[in-house]
Amino acid sequence: MKAQNKANGAPKMKHRNETVWSWLFMLPTMIFLGVTALLPLLYSVYLSFFKYKINLPNAVPTFNGLGNYIKMFTDKTLAVSTGNTVLFAVISVALELVIGIIVAMVLCSDMLWAKICTTILLIPMIMAPVAIGTTWRMMLDGTTGIINYLLSFLGIPSINWLSNPKYAMPAVIFVNVWQLVPWVAIIGAAGLKALPADCFEAARIDGAKNSQIFAKIVLPMISPLLVIITMLRFVDAFKVFDTVYTMTNGGPGTATEMLPNYIYKQGLKFFDAGYTAALAVMFVLIMTVVTLIFLKLRKFVEEKVA
Amino acid sequence: MRKKKEKEVSVMDDVIGNFAGRPARVIIVAITMIAIIFPLYWLVTSSFKVKADYLANPPVIFPHRFTLESFRQVLQMNGLLNQFINSFIVAAVSTAISLVFGSMAAYSVARGRFHKTVRGAFGLWFMVQKMYPAIATAIPIYLVMRNLHLIDTRTALIIMNTSFNLPLVIWLMMGFFEQVPLEMEESAKIDGATFLQKFFKVVFPVTKPGLVAAGILAFIGAWNEFLFAVILSINKSKTLPVVIAGFITDRGLEWGPMAATSVITLIPVLILVLLAQKQFVQGLAMGAVKG
């Protein structure tokens, strides 16, 4: 009773105190992210209007107006990279989603074997993407690679996976699928296990087949989760860098050149800070639009299910 | 009660697991497991192969000559221990900082006293921060670090990894804090607990599993981070992923030492995840549901 009186006695003070503490708790993060993320992003916007070669010791930024942005329209490699990025993202995410959900479904069991398989699934997720890229590069090697050797038993002639423009992109997509199917499967399995089992029981008593239960009950119920998985994967696929860098570095030619790798090259190989900044700004804008579209889609699906 | 639970599980197991029939299920599981395990088998055996074997054509699938030569080469000649320590310090320190700052911010957003708009704005900021491409700030960060003479230092990498991990930790911890029943906090408040006391004495103890989950995800993220590690390090502050990538760009075809370095890089995070698999999976699922 006494404590309650005390709390009621000074509610205003108490609220103000809480507000102050809330802001104080937020402050370290605000400062940290402000300095390491927001300001650099603004600096990128600023630099995008300048000509600035950062490999020259005494170079100073000179104003260039919209020059860097205009340059984008005549940059053929940029057009190719953008197309590649979209192609890569769409195909790899589609494959990851379908395969990942199938794997999640077949592993939907509480038996020991399923637990062991789940543990194995975690490994590609925790492996450094760089190591994944180099390991597959070793395995896909044209002469000493194990993949060509195994394929030779099927009568398939030796393929230079990473140095043939026709096969490099499928190879990079394949490795991304290998890397991220486990992620989709683990998240998908968590979602499937949370579904109410009595629904299935009831449907089964009514004589529904497993495939019908899947199409009519399971799929609609997990569709909001599928949208989220697609969104996270799609945004992530746009940012692919480590595996591309180690497997092909964009080559052969521009066959697997994608935006992050291209931006990296402009900045740290050609040292064109202004143009890099303009590309970065454009990239952020694209990503924002993609994210917004997915957020809308997610809202739409969630409302439809609810 | 227990019996009912078992029955539920078996229904799920059958309806969802056998959606395409039992034989198909066995085949799919087998193919998936082989597809995952074979590259790992190849990586591990390559690290123990003699040079003639890892460069052999046709490739040697079942080696019968084993050597530690590749490990000796990377550890003794290339001084991989230094880079291992770099990776560990960068990952551990950035994880610690982002856990402290991140859980404070997350608690503030989840349960602090903010105007609705302010709360929403913070939520949006941290989500955008999680999505935006790191490459967008690469050049400005490089220039600033160069001016501050922080290129090739662990400090620079710790700062950047903390920056990447903060939104992740905040986002996960927000989910965990929101699960704490409001009544628990209300009753503590009635007993006269201040904001700080509520955070440390009431909420913190019950969200420890969440903290472990966020910590593991942050550590693995920083341990494997490559883009900024390669931009900001020249020699002294190189981390393990930079060394692995270096085998491709600098030397080429040194599959043995490359595989040995990859194995050394994988082992610590593998142990970490095996020790706390439950929290790791929980963290992944939470991240997606919240995302």
Model confidence pLDDT, tens digit, residues A212-261 = 888 888 888 888 889 889 988 999 999 999 999 999 998 898 999 999 99
Sort out which chain B residues have CB atoms less than 8 A from A54's CB and list them: 139, 142-143
Is the CB of B270 less than 8 angstroms away from the CB of A123?
yes
Measured between CB atoms, does B148 come within 8 Å of chain A? Answer: no
Residue with tokens 């590609």: A124
pLDDT value of residue B151: 93
Kindly tell me the sign of the dihedral angle through the C-alpha atoms of B56, B61, B64, B69: positive
Q: What's the pLDDT tens digit per position in B213-239?
A: 999 999 999 999 999 999 999 989 999
Residue with tokens 């790798």: A261
Q: Answer yes or no: is pLDDT of A6 > 60.
A: no
Of the partner residues A121, A138, A218, the one whose CB lies closest to the CB of residue B36: A121
Mean pLDDT lowest among B37-41, B173-177, B252-256: B252-256
Q: Answer yes or no: is pLDDT of A17 > 90.
A: no
Measured between CB atoms, does B52 come within 8 Å of chain A? Answer: no
Q: Is A62 helix (H, G, I), strand (E, B) or coil?
A: strand
Is the CB of A28 less than 8 angstroms away from the CB of B139?
no
- In angstroms, the separation between the Cα of residue B23 and the nearest Cα of chain A is 11
Given a contact cutoff of 8 angstroms between Cβ atoms, the answer to whether B283 and B214 are in contact is: yes
Q: Answer yes or no: is pLDDT of B3 > 50.
A: no
**Closest by alpha carbon to A101, among A238, A236, A223?**
A223
Is the CB of B8 less than 8 angstroms away from the CB of A241?
no
pLDDT value of residue B201: 83
Maximal CA-CA distance, chain A: 86
Q: What is the rounded average pLDDT for all residues in chain A? A: 88
Q: Sorting pLDDT into bands at 50, 70 and 90, what band is A57?
A: confident
- Cα nearest neighbour of A235 on chain B: B131
User: Of all residues in chain B, what percent carry a pLDDT higher than 90?
Assistant: 49
ipTM over cut 0.85: yes
Q: Does residue B86 or residue B3 have the better pLDDT? A: B86
In sequence order, what are the residues at sequence separation of 6 or more whose Cβ sits closer than 8 angstroms to the Cβ of residue A55?
A: A271
In sequence order, what are the residues at sequence separation of 6 or more whose Cβ sits closer than 8 angstroms to the Cβ of residue A178?
A: A124, A132, A136, B35, B36, B39
- Cα nearest neighbour of A274 on chain B: B139
Q: Answer yes or no: is pLDDT of A34 > 70.
A: yes
What is the separation of C-alpha A280 from the centre of its chain, rounded to a whole number of angstroms? 17
Of the partner residues B13, B231, B262, the one whose CB lies closest to the CB of residue A109: B13
Q: Answer yes or no: is pLDDT of B1 > 70.
A: no
Of the partner residues B55, B248, B270, the one whose CB lies closest to the CB of residue A134: B248
pLDDT (average), residues A169-188 = 96
Please give the model's pTM, rounded to 2 decimal places: 0.91
Checking B184-188 for CB contacts under 8 A at 24+ apart, the result is: B185/B111
Pairing of strands A50-51, A62-63: antiparallel
Please count the other Cβ atoms lying within 10 Å of the Cβ belonging to residue B224: 25
Q: How far apart are CA B133 and CA A237, in angstroms?
A: 11
Q: What is the rounded average pLDDT for all residues in chain B? A: 88
> Which DSSP state fits A63?
E
Is the CB of A246 less than 8 angstroms away from the CB of B244?
yes
pLDDT value of residue A10: 56
Q: Does residue B172 or residue A205 have the better pLDDT? A: B172
Q: How far apart are CA B84 and CA B42, in angstroms?
A: 23
Mean pLDDT lowest among A281-285, B105-109, B206-210, B247-251: B247-251
Q: Does residue A6 or residue B278 have the better pLDDT? A: B278
Size of interface A-B (CB pairs under 8 A): 323
Q: C-alpha angle B67/B69/B75, rounded to 5°?
A: 135
First to last CA, chain B: 34
Measured between CB atoms, does B59 come within 8 Å of chain A? Answer: yes
Of A46-50, A200-204, A291-295, B183-187, highest mean pLDDT: A46-50
Q: What's the pLDDT tens digit per position in B258-276?
A: 999 999 999 999 999 999 9
Q: Sorting pLDDT into bands at 50, 70 and 90, what band is B6?
A: low
**Closest by alpha carbon to B35, among A95, A218, A162, A247?**
A95
